[in-house]
Structure formats: C-alpha cells, structure tokens
Structure 1
Amino acid sequence: MAWIDRNRLFNILGYAGFTLCVVTAIAYGIMPEKIQYIWIGWLIGGPGVMAYVVGNFETVKTYLKRRSARYGANAAVLVMLFLGVLVFVEAISAIHYLQFDLTANKYYTLSDQTIRLLQGLTEPVHVTAFFQEAARTREEAKDLLSQYANVSRRFTFEFVDPDRFPGKARRYKVTTYGTIVLECGTRDQKVTELSEEKLTNALLRLIRKGEKVVYFLSGHGEKSIEDRKKGGYSTVKEAIQDQNYAVKELLLMRAHEVPEDAAVLIVPGPQKPLFPIELEMLEGFIDRGGHIFILLDPETQTGLEKFLKEYGIEVGNDIIIDKLSRLFGGDYLTPIVSKYALNHPITKNFNTASFFPVARSVAPADIDDPEVETTRLAFTGESSWAETDLEKLEKGRASFDEEKDKRGPVPVAVVSTVKIDKSKKGKEEEKNKEEGGNKSVSVHARIVVFGDSDFASNSYLNLSGNRDLFLNTLSWLAEEEDLISIRPKKRENTPVVLSYTQGRVIFWSSVILLPGVVLVIGIIVFRSKGS
C-alpha cells in the first residue's frame, strides 16, 4: 500500500484551505445576507491553512528570518491593524449608525409614528417577504424593511422566492408575489401592497393586545358564516379572522342583548323581519356607542328600514339598474360602483370598482337632528338608475321614469355617525356616586348600511374591490382605520438643466483639461527619470 508523502499532504491541505478561504471571502462580499452558510467555508479552510503551517514549520521559520520577511511581516501587521480598525468601525456602526436623507421629500425617512411604534416593540417581530429573485420591487421592499430593522433590533426580515421554495409559500398561504408576512409569536399579518402605511398598520394590528370580536346576526335568514356555498359568508369569516378578529354568530332572542365585547355587529342580509324586542336591543347597543354594519337586499322588509331612518339613513324600495355592467360581462342588475366619498376614511384613496349584484339604493334621510352626521359612501355610475316599479321590472319592461325613479349616480352605501350623550351607569355607578354623581360622557355610535349583501358572498367577495371595501368598512367600524395615516412619498424627478455655456465648461474641464493635466505630468516625470 502506497503512503502519501507527509509534506505533500500538508501542502495540498494548505493550498485547498487557502483557496476555500478566498472563495468564501468573495462569496461573503457578494452575498453578505448568507453569512449563516458562508462561515462554514472559513471553518473548513482555516484548519487546512494551519495544517500547512504545522507541516512546513521549519520552512516557515527559515523564511521568517529573512529581511524581506520582516518587512513583509511589518506590512502584514499594518494591514491587519487597518482591517481591524475597519471591522471595529463596522461593528460600532452596526449598533450606533448615522444616516442622512438628502432627498427633497425625505423619501428614505420613516414617519414619526412608525419610529415610535418600532421603538416601543416588546416582542420580536419577524417578516418574511415573498419576492422573486429578479423582481424589480424586491430592492424597494428591501430598502423599506431595512429602515424598519435599523430602528429596532426586534424587527428582523428575510426574503423568500416562492418559486424556489413553494412549500414555505403554501405554509403561509401566500398566493401572490410581493406578499409580506409579519409574525409575532403565534400571530401573523399579511401585506400585499408595499408601503409604509400598510406595513405599519399591519404591525399595529399584529402587536395589538387582546382580540376584538365581530358578531354576525342570525335567526332571520341571514347569510351564514359557516355556509361554503356560493351565497354563503365563509370566505368573509376567513378574511376577518386573517385580520386577527374573533368571529361569532349571535342569536339576539337567546342572548337578550348585544354582548359587551362586541366590537362590530354585522347584519348580513336578513330575509325576515326582526322582532320589536330585537330592534330595542339594537337601539340599546347604539346607545352604548356600538358599531353596526347592516347589509340589506332589495325586496325585503326587515323592520330595519324604519329603524334606520331615525339615525339618518333611508333605504329605498327599489332595484338599481346599470346598463354599463353589460360591458363587464354582467347583467343590468349588477351595478358597477366606481365613485366613492374621498373625504371618508373608509374610501380615502380607494379607486377600485366594486360590483353589487342586485342592489337597492341607500341615501341620507331628511331628519332634523344635529347629533346625527351622514355621508354617502359609494355610488353607481351615471348610466344607472333606481327602478321603483318592481312589477314592471319583473316583466322585463323597466325603463327610467323621471317622476318616480332616481337617476344615477345612485348611492348604495351610507355612513351614519351618531353622537350620544349619556351618564355612566351599570358597573361604574358606585364609583360615580363616590365622585359626586353621574358623569355626562359623549360617545359616537357608528352605523354603515349597504344596499346589498351578495357583494360579500363567497361568489363575489374576491371580485375586484369588493373584499377591500368590506374590510375597510369593518376596520373603520372597529375604530382601527386611523391607527396610522401616512401620506405616501413620491420620488421627485429633478433633472439638472444646464445652459450651453455651462455644458461646454463641464465638457472642457472634465474631458479635456483634467486628462491633459495628467498627461503633461506623466510626460514630465518620464523625461526627468530619463535624464
């Protein structure tokens, strides 16, 4: 059996180890984010270099005695000291960094609200961004996430290519590129639109203490949150749960009142009238400052029509017809909602069309109550109208009647904010007595009424802007729409415009003068050495 020469073995290990260390250093310079894998190369290559030194100790010792070796060692020590200073400065800058944003509109500076939120984090938050390796928006997302991570060590992030790691994308239920998943403990939030406002709001919902409860009224033929058929609301339930809300059904006759923990009560398309005692319970909920989301279908009499009029909302006994909907593959009874109230938090900056299959009009009622403030939230197009002759419509002979029908744009959603003055009672009654009697407090009840419930059903929720409109409304009712409102920053294009004279000066100074000076100096040095 042939034995490998000992010196040759050490040489092979040394050269291989040195090569591996160099390749690892280059890899680190190209992909510093992969440091958790790159250090393995140094761990393997280092012992190889050490083996070479041990195996050739006499040769190394003899070489170090030379004068050139001493000079080289001094240079190496200086280089190592210089590198050590650089590493020290890099380590210090990683902890205590200072950056300057020189853009005109502070494009690379986070808002004060976001900074305060990040500085107040008490739990680690990890972000997984699902972007393709070559996606143009990847660098923009990395810049934004890096700004968050620079403010707080508890905020970390990583990028995952869903094409290379489909299993991880499935585990997080990611179906679109550019999705960002925030995790804190067992909770998570998803962001599909990259902006500081969206990311910060998701972070706020993620670290929110406690769980808000959304109740769905049942017992009158409403849409069921457990129904997975086309007309059910199971998709809505999942969408609400994804926003970290608890979702429950509520049978008022059994509960005797709307529960105290109800953040929002949703009435999803009742088909039968509510009992008078149930309407009294709803009134009591509003008097407590409750928030109600009511979706009423056409050709139904639920008792809510008269009830809502007291709060400034009038529900029309009609059906909206929109001829424009035929262009989008629908029929006349599926109006397109493309106009929204720009001054309301629900629809601010909302510019996506929504589709309401078979809807009725909803408009502010003419009441004299200064405590009630109403806003038209969403409208159909100008080619639509609210048809009041339902018998004629059923026979297929509907046409616009100037005297009876409402010409478009027709409002299909109205918001009512009710200011309620009341005295603290119940659990605080004894405390109030000790402090000198009942205290007058003011609360604001919130009511939103849509003239259709099918737009949020399993068939239509993910159509165009339906989902966002529903969830925006829920967030406003749950008093979370104004957690963070950050005006988006735009990149400003400010080109440098030079006059003809300025352009010529720059050309001659940079292209002719400076290279000419270098050339002349070179000639002088060459001639001086030659002489």
Structure 2
Amino acid sequence: MTDKKVVGPVFGFLTLIFCFLSVTCLFLNAWVLFWIFLVFFVASLNIFVVVRLDEIRHFFRSRQVRYGTNVALSVLGVIGIAIFVNVIFAQRFNKRVDLTEVKRYSLSEQTKQILKSLDKEINIIAFFTESNRSIPLVKHYLDLYAHATKNITVSLKDPDVESNLADKYGIERDGYTAFDDGERHEITSIVSEQAFTSTLLRVIKNETKRVYFLTGHEERSIDDFSRRGYQQVKTELQKINYEVLSLSLLKEQQIPADCDALVVAGPTKPLRKDEIETIERYLNENGKLLLLLDPSHNSPNDVNDGLVQLMKKWGVKVGNDLVHDRVNFFLLLGGSTALDLQFEPHEITRNFMQLQIPFIYCRSVTPMPDLPDDISVKTLAKTMGPKGVSWAETERQTDGTFSDNGYTPNVDISAHVSVAVAVEEVMRRSTEEKEAATPTRIVVFGDSDFASDVFLATDDPNVPAYPPIFNAIVNWLTLEDDLVTITENDPSKRTLRRLNDYQARLVQILSVFLIPLTVFITGIVVWWVRREGGTG
C-alpha cells in the first residue's frame, strides 16, 4: 500500500510533465521529440491508472462527480443550442454593424450602391506574396467586397505559386489585383476602395479607350525595346485595357476622333506649325494631352518651343532650364543620381506621395500667374530643397551647355521648383452640355526619362518599378478615376487630445494614490471582517 501511495503520485506528476513537453514540441514543430514524449506520456498515464485504479473508480462513483457530470452536460447543451441558433442567424440574417466612428470596417455608400446594382458575377483575384506588407489591407477589402454581395467571389493567390493563373492576366510581379467577369478583366496595383471600385466599374462598363503616342520627331517610342523606349509603358497600359497606338501628324491631318488621350513623349525634333495647330484644335475640343518635355542640354534654342508657346495659352510656363537639388536626391544603379521630389496632393499623386521616381534631368514646369477663371493649373511635383539648395539653372556657358556655377539670385529660378503640373478646364456650361462633353485636361512633366524602360518596370528585383504613376496620369486624363470619387477615412491621422494641467494631475493622483489606497483599505476591511467572524 505504501508503495502505491508513493508510485502513484510520481507517475501522475511524470504524466503531467510529459504532456506539457509533448504540447510544447507540437507547437514548435519538433516532431521527433513530440512522438518520444507522447510515448512516455501514454506509458506513465497507463502506469498511473493501474496503480490508482481503485481510487479512480471511487472518484467517478462519488456524488460530486455525478453532480459535475450533470452540470457539464447542461453547459454542453446550452453551448450546442447557442451554436445552432448562431448558424441559423448567420445564414439567414448575415448582417454586420460597424460601431467605429470612422466606419473603418464599412464600404462607402457609393460602393454599396454599385455592388447592389451588380447583375453579373465578378471574380476578384489578388496576387500577393506573404511577404507583401499590403496583405492585411488586401484581405480587409476582399472581405468587405465579398460580404457586400453574392455576385462577387474573392481569392488571394501567390503569383510565384500560381504562375499560370498570373500569366493569364499578364501579371509578372507581386501586388496586382484582377477583376474578372468571365469575358473581360481589369487589374489594379493600388490597394484602396477608390481603386477597387473604379476597376470594378471599368469591368462593368466594358469599354476600351485608346491612347495615341505621337511619332515623327524622334520621341520615345512604344515600339522601341531599347533602354530609352516606352515599350513597357505600352504593356502596362494594355494590362488595364487601354488600346495603345502610334500617331503621325505628318501623315494624318487631324487627331482621330477615338483618341481618348494623346501622349507627346520627349520629342528631340521640332513639331511643324501645322502639327502644333492640330494639337491646339484638339485641346480646344476637350482633348486630353500628356506632354513630357526634356531640357535642352546643349543649346539655348529649344526644339520644343512650339509646344512651350502652346502651353502658355493653357496657363503653363515651361522653363528653358535645368533643375538641381544638392541635398534631396537618391542613387540609382550605375552610380547616377535622381531628384527626390515632393509630390503635391492631387487625384494623380494621392497613392504615390512617398514614392521615389527617377527624375534625372528635369526642366521647370510651373503654373503661370493671373490664370483665367476657366482654367485650373496645379503643381504635381516640386523640389524639396530650400533656396540656394534647389533651383532651376538658366545660365549657359559659351558652348551652349548649362552653367555649373550654382544658384545665382535674381537670375535662376529659386526653390521650390515645380517640375510637373495638371491642367483642367473649369466647366461653366449647362447640365446638358456637361453631360455631352468632358473638360480639357493636360498633364505636363519636365522630363521623359522616368517612364523609359530602363526605369519603368524590369524583371530585376533590385531595380524598382514605377508603372503605377504613368497609369494614374492616363486614368486621370481619360476621366477613368472620375467614375467614382470616394473619400476614405484614415484612422492613422486621428490624434489623441492633449491633457491640460488639471487633467494630468487628476490622472496622476488616481493612478499613484487613490487606486492603491482603495485596494489597501479593501484588504483591511476584509481582514477585519474575517477576524471578527473567527472570534465570534
């Protein structure tokens, strides 16, 4: 009997130890040790049961066990009923209530109305690797869209694992989301409700817009596969269902009627007068233009003076200069440097405020003063360095190249130097006229290098990719982003109200004195009551 009293507790204690070690190894994925400790656990448990069999039988026959069993069965019954009721309500009354002040877990009313009227099935496929920092946000939006309507199915795929599916949508990199209705698909690289709903609307509308790239003046070409070319720009635009075409105004007398946006990318030869006039007529008829003009490095005579003069009519001054910033720049592969610009708030730049884009050689592009009331010109990007650190060099040496004597007050353009603007015609027409026409829109950048194949998107993971900004420009020009406008609440910008002196002292008194004193007094009272009860 004495041996059983000693051996039983020992093996009971060993059983607990081996059980704990087995569970620990299970969570650590140490499978060999898990199976070893599991065998010892089972063996020690069997020995404990054999040694203490009489006590175990007596325990399970006792009144306490019967009462405990009844209580356990009652609890299990209540839990089962609760689960059953929850399943019924989840299936028939699948509603959510967002109690957060900024409605963080809700879609906007615009998106809800679009999803409510959706009459076709849409499959949303997000291609993100597990290492992508946007994974939590993507899952958040996928869940919201899937819950809002039965016509949307969502899935999250790893493009490295599901490579065949990624190839189907032309996705070569991490971070894209595809919207597919079975006949047509659209993709976006931006994770936001604005981007998701706009992409969904493009699928629903089932329209293909055309973007024309001007040729004939040694511009950046969409058919050029060299480092200078824009072939990757063409690919990126085609991914979001734009038809990308070339246009020569040397052969055509006018810009095609189906031109949704015209791109003039870094011409190195002057446009003829009649070509400038054709573009001017196009803009006067609510045209959309993206103009990318590089600095004139070797001569004060600007080959793009015709386009520069045309932009003055739309409130844009394109400088014959070269922008510098001695402090705010970043290194590129190969040792060259690029300006680190500050993006200004705009529909184009709202998702790229922190993005570094390689503007290497750049000229100033600034809004002109005293603009007419029917034209709005906004700066998109500018230098960050202060006066004397960043400037636009206007002086030249005798050989025609820009001077390297630094900032010259009252001669050079001082900080902060604007290098890109967006122009929009302010519509002052009747409702019927507004519905029949769209405003003229122009985007002017003082550089065309940033979108070339050497910088845009490459297969080299060490080289950054910058396709979204070009897509965002074209989407704004063609009014694709105007399909829906959603103002998203950003809880990260909410700040706590600062305590005044009185409130700070009150918190200090409560935490340091009052709460500990309350606990101490409560302890004294409990001790005194028990003492008096024990005495009586």
Same-fold call, TM > 0.5? Answer: yes
Residue type of the partner of 2:392?
A
Displacement of 1:267 in angstroms is 0.9
For this pair of structures, how many residues does the alignment match? 425
Distance change (3 Å), C-alpha of 1:377 and 1:143: closer
* Residue 210 (structure 1) aligns with: 207
Displacement of 1:439 in angstroms is 12
| 1:386 aligns to 2:389 (yes or no) | no
* Residue 259 (structure 1) aligns with: 256
Of 398, 404, 425, the residue aligned with 2:404 is 398
* Residue 473 (structure 1) aligns with: 473
CA offset digits 1:350-399 (Å, max 9, x no partner): 22222222221112234663323222221123223222233368668511
* Residue 414 (structure 1) aligns with: 421
| 1:129 aligns to 2:126 (yes or no) | yes
Of 95, 99, 112, the residue aligned with 1:98 is 95
Displacement of 1:293 in angstroms is 0.8
| 1:461 aligns to 2:456 (yes or no) | yes
| 1:448 aligns to 2:443 (yes or no) | yes
Displacement of 1:274 in angstroms is 1.8
Q: Is the 8 A contact 2:392 2:417 kept in 1?
A: yes
1:355 counterpart SS class: coil
Q: Is the 8 A contact 1:335 1:359 kept in 2?
A: no
* Worse overlay, 103-112 or 217-226: 103-112
How far, CA to CA, are the matches of 1:476 and 1:237 in structure 2?
17
Of 314, 317, 322, the residue aligned with 2:320 is 317
* Residue 369 (structure 1) aligns with: 372
Of 239, 243, 251, the residue aligned with 1:246 is 243
Displacement of 1:419 in angstroms is 4.4
How far, CA to CA, are the matches of 1:189 and 1:442 in structure 2?
25
How far, CA to CA, are the matches of 2:366 and 2:254 in structure 1?
28
- Matching of residues 32-431 of structure 1 within 5 Å: 90=87, 93-132=90-129, 138=135, 141-162=138-159, 164-299=161-296, 300-302=302-304, 303-324=306-327, 328-329=331-332, 335-342=338-345, 344-348=346-350, 350-366=353-369, 369-382=372-385, 383-391=389-397, 398-399=404-405, 400-419=407-426
How far, CA to CA, are the matches of 1:506 and 1:151 in structure 2?
49
* Worse overlay, 144-153 or 344-353: 344-353
Query: What is the root-mean-square deviation of aligned Cα atoms in Å?
Result: 4.3
Distance change (3 Å), C-alpha of 1:449 and 1:149: same
Distance change (3 Å), C-alpha of 1:458 and 1:103: same
CA offset digits 1:86-107 (Å, max 9, x no partner): 6687366335412222233222
Q: Percent identity?
A: 31
Distance change (3 Å), C-alpha of 1:193 and 1:307: closer
Q: Is the 8 A contact 1:420 1:442 kept in 2?
A: no
Unaligned runs of 5+ in 2: 1-75, 297-301, 458-462, 497-506, 527-536
TM-score by length of 2: 0.67
1:98 counterpart SS class: coil
* Worse overlay, 233-242 or 139-148: 139-148
How far, CA to CA, are the matches of 2:521 and 2:92 in structure 1?
45
Displacement of 1:162 in angstroms is 4.2
Displacement of 1:224 in angstroms is 1.0
Q: Is the 8 A contact 1:352 1:464 kept in 2?
A: no
1:110 counterpart SS class: coil
Distance change (3 Å), C-alpha of 1:141 and 1:279: closer
